[in-house]
Structure 1
Amino acid sequence: MTQNGWPGAHGGGWGGAPQWGGRPPAAPQPGVIPLRPLSLGDIITGSFAAIRGHWKTLAGGALAVLAVVLPVMALVVGIAAASVHDHFDPVFHPPFGEDPASEHVVPLVVAAVVVFVLFMAIGVLGMAVIAALCPAVLKEAVTGRPTTFRTLWRASVRRAPAVAGAMFLSGLIAGSPVFVVLAVWLPLVFSAGSGEDALALMGFLPLLMLAAAPLAVWLGIRFGLAPAVVVMEGAGPVTGLRRSTALVRGDWWRIFGYTIVISMLAGAIAYAIEIPFNLIGTFAMVPSLQGMSDHGTPAAGSIAALVFAVVLLFLGGAAGQVFQIAFSHMASAMLYVDQRIRREGLAEAILADLAVAPAPAAPATAGPAPTAPRSADGAGGA
């Protein structure tokens, strides 16, 4: 099975959904999930099994992303700081009683906006690699076929731009109700000035957001399977959104409920991962801060303890966020597989594909060497 294809991709080639007469007692299970319509428990346990079975690949991918993203972000900050270095003192230390001049403020604002936009783009691309890696891992985990880190990494990097496009488009469309509310509300507030009308409009914003939130959530669930479609079917971002819409249609409430439970579980586990790092980092930071306040000039030990605490806090936050992202996207890809099993007969397609090209068998255990066939004259065969 190739990395960019899946049996019956785009809804064709394998016929309609199988006629499951209730939950079968023992469905075929070549990989981490049984090949039948999945329950919430199947999706959660299957996601954990896929992560546990391929944790080296997922951890290696996350570390590779951080190894690229963090230096690039540091380079962006360094270039921006060097380009506007001459404007820092006039803005942050202006002469007494004077306001900073606009020729110094504007370059700093422009540099800050550029850095923010670049950070967002770099972060989305980095997250897209992890988001692409999870369905690529799940594709092999469902079939039970062995794979290598290099193969999965190349597949995820190759599909990362399309995944980033799907994530950007789905976020833009899902957030459009909120953007519309802000686009209408902000001009009204600025035109009202600082009177009672402005205060009334300020209190009206939560009501507008409550009206826009259901539509935003509906759109978000509707397009939530797009990253999995892009990776598993080799589709483009727009096609991924369309396929996600088709797969979710009619099952929105079930997918919404599953997504809420999965998100809460991922957040709780991520927080539990961060707790030990935060506790140790906080205990390490308190003595170093006290030493700095008592002696004025910080000692080398205080600086080392502070650096150690900051590193621990960063590692804890990074580990928790990576797990949350990986588990959420793994479960989303599992929902994609479930929908295709229910609607497009993916279970039969996978079994037929495995029957044509079965997975490599495990090496045989050691035993007596087979007897070579004997020729007519009694000599052993070659």
Structure 2
Amino acid sequence: MSGTDGPHGWGEPDGGRGWEQPGGQPPASGQPSPGGPGQPPAGGAHDQQNGWTNAPGWSWRAPDVKPGVVPLRPLGVGEILDGAVTTIRRNPRVMLGLSAAVAVVTQLIGMLVIWVLLGEATALDDLGRDITADEALDFLGTTLGGAAILLFVTWVGTVFLTGMLTVVVGRAVIGQDLTLAETWQHAKPRLLRLFGLTLLYTLIWSGAIWAVMAGAIAVAAGGNAGAAVALLVFGGLAAMLIGIWLYVRFALSTPALMLETTSRGNGYPVPIGVIESLRRSSRLVTGSWWRVFAILLLVMIIVFIVAQVVNVPFSLPATFGDGDMFTMAGMSFGALMISTLGGIVSTTITAPFSAGATALLYVDRRIRREALDIELARAANVELPGRHEGYDPGGTQPGSQ
């Protein structure tokens, strides 16, 4: 551990940055690091000083230290997923209650917007004639405006909820269950930066796709339809691959922003900035891009399947609503309410799992690259057998992938 990090939180080996201490207070100076000489190293073959030797073909392994929802060591995929579920079970009031509250607000606003659009569609359908160009443009403008409102409300709710839940998961790793007030107290000074980070992050990974679309439109406007199609197909594929690569590379920036601190000026820890959180994610993902990609993809698949299963019983009334089921005007207000309820239930279940899995993936990457388990053990006031500052366990260690 770098001497420069000292009292500034759960620091990383290169100093300066750290994982914020509970309550935002620096740890007491002189606190001994967990573990120490004389303890048998994990996976060690022998210990001549203590007079014992492992039998051939056998190796000694220290028991897992697990003050919170995951053991303080490099995590397997199953442990990351299980840790996300365990966090929800340990602190349902915040994890599920907060998710439900945000889902109710966003889904109800979305329902009202959709109902307005359904009213517009019904009015046009009741005319009983072909609509004019002006009427079509008016309806298109209303639809686009409603879609923009829906996207904005969903984005704000998702960013806010992800930031709050990430804080809860960060504390659950060391066995601390936060109240809603404590979660808000920690997340509040970081939320504005998180909105900026999320906007920048979205522009980064989607920028190539938008550039290809703009280029194709420009080429088509010039009268070369064939070139425009080719640009959309091949350029779109390349842009999609670039977008996926960037998405994964910066996927850990949100937990980095919400959980890390840095030392400035007076020596007290302050949250890291937007650009620094992107750099931190890039560093943590480097050398393990495919593993991070696979875990994120698995989480997305699980979330998608759960959401579809939950939504099925709620979507049936909407599908077979009053009127023509193939028109926007064919959904009754009751069916829309039931569909909205399905969205609330789905978000309440999937949002904490997704945020928890991403936060624990971040913890895993820091343990593997930066020996964060030592700092986590110190914060949890537990000892890691065979792990202490300056000790090389010879297995998975800082810098391993």
What TM-score do the two structures reach when normalised by structure 1?
Answer: 0.71
CA 247–100 in structure 1, closer or farther in 2 if over 3 Å, else same: same
What is the alpha-carbon distance in structure 2 between the residues aligned to residue 55 and residue 147 of structure 1?
Answer: 11
Question: Structure 1: which amino acid aligns with 2:93?
Answer: K
Say whether residues 1:353 and 2:379 are aligned partners. yes
CA contact (8 A) 1:174 1:217 kept: yes
Q: Which residue of 2 aligns with 1:223?
A: 250
CA contact (8 A) 1:10 1:243 kept: no
Q: Assess, with a 3 A threshold, how the Cα gap between structure 1 residues 77 and 329 changes in structure 2: closer, same or farther.
A: same
Shift of 1:149: 2.0
Which amino acid in the other structure matches residue 48 of structure 1?
V
Distance 1:123 1:155, change over 3 A: farther
Task: Tell me the distance in 1 between the aligned counterparts of 2:184 and 2:148.
Answer: 26
Shift in alpha-carbon separation, 1:117–1:310, aligned structure 2, 3 A: closer
Does 1:208 find its partner at 2:235? yes
The farther-off stretch of 48-57 and 156-165 is 156-165
Match of 1:35 in 2: 72
Cα distance between partner residues in 1 of 2:336 and 2:139:
27
In the alignment, structure 1 residue 121 sits paired with structure 2 residue 158: no
Contact 1:14 1:345 in 2 (8 A): no
The structural deviation recorded for 1:145 is 1.7
The aligned counterpart of 2:297 is: 260
Q: Is the 8 A contact 2:163 2:258 kept in 1?
A: yes
Cα separation, partners in 2 of 1:179 and 1:20, compared to 1, 3 Å: farther
Aligned to 1:131: 162
Distance 1:97 1:108 in 2: 13
The RMSD of aligned alpha carbons is: 3.8
Q: Which residue of 1 aligns with 2:288?
A: 251
Matched to 2:360, the amino acid is M
In structure 2, give the amino acid aligned to 1:183: A
* Residue from 203, 217, 220 that aligns with 1:189: 220
Q: 1:246 to 1:146 in 2, by over 3 A?
A: same
Query: 1:11: how far off?
Result: 5.2
Of 147, 153, 170, the residue aligned with 2:201 is 170
Taking the aligned partners of 2:349 and 2:170, their CA distance within structure 1 comes to 19
Distance, in Å, in 2 between the alignment partners of 1:97 and 1:60 is: 48
* Residue 312 (str. 1) matches residue 349 (str. 2): no
Moved more, 167-176 or 62-71: 62-71
SS of the counterpart of 2:75? coil
1:64 to 2:91 alignment: no
* 1:148 paired to 2:179: yes
- Listed one character per residue, the Cα deviations across residues 219-274 of structure 1 (whole Å, up to 9, x for unaligned) are 00000001111111132222211111111111111111111122112211222222
Kindly provide the CA deviation profile for residues 96-141 of structure 1, in whole angstroms up to 9, marking residues without a partner as x: 999556xx98887776655544443332221111111221111121
Larger radius of gyration: 1
Q: Alignment partner of 2:278: what SS?
A: helix
Counterpart of 2:279, as a letter, is R
> Is this contact kept in 1: 2:103–2:347, CA < 8 A?
no
C-alpha contact (below 8 Å) 1:124/1:164 kept by paired residues: no
Q: Which moved more, 1:20-29 or 1:138-147?
A: 20-29
Equivalent residue pairs, number: 319
SS for the counterpart of 1:143 is coil
CA distance 1:130–1:98, change in 2 (3 Å): closer
1:269 to 306, 312, 326: 306
Which deviations, in whole Å up to 9, do the C-alpha atoms of 1:287-315 show, x marking residues without a partner? x63xx79xxxxxxxxx9xx5443322222
Residues of 2 paired with 1:10 and 1:51: CA distance? Answer: 31
Of structures 1 and 2, the one with the larger relative CO (CA 8 A, separation 6+) is: 2
Contact 2:81 2:357 in 1 (8 A): yes
Matching of residue 342 in structure 1 with residue 342 in structure 2: no
Structure 1, unpaired ranges of 5+: 294-302, 357-382
The answer to whether the 8 A contact 2:194-2:274 is kept is: yes
CA distance in 1, matches of 2:43, 2:16: 23
| Structure-2 change in CA distance of 1:203 and 1:184 (3 Å) | closer
Amino acid at match of 2:84: S
Which of 308, 330, 333 in structure 1 is aligned with 2:359? 333
Is the CA contact 1:6–1:232 (under 8 Å) kept in the aligned structure 2? no
Query: 1:64: how far off?
Result: 2.7
The equivalent of 1:300 in structure 2 is none
Q: Which residue of 2 aligns with 1:380?
A: none
Moved more, 182-191 or 22-31: 22-31
What amino acid is the match of 1:334? L
Structure showing the higher helix proportion among its residues? 1
In the other structure, the counterpart of 1:55 is 92
Change (3 A) 1:9 1:93: farther
> Per residue, is there more strand in 1 or in 2?
2
What is the CA-CA distance between 1:74 and the residue it aligns to? 7.9
Match of residue 44 from structure 1: 81
8 Å contact from structure 2 (residues 103, 348) kept in 1: no
Mean Cα deviation higher: 161-170 or 31-40: 161-170
Distance, in Å, in 2 between the alignment partners of 1:74 and 1:265 is 26
Letter of the 2:249 counterpart: R
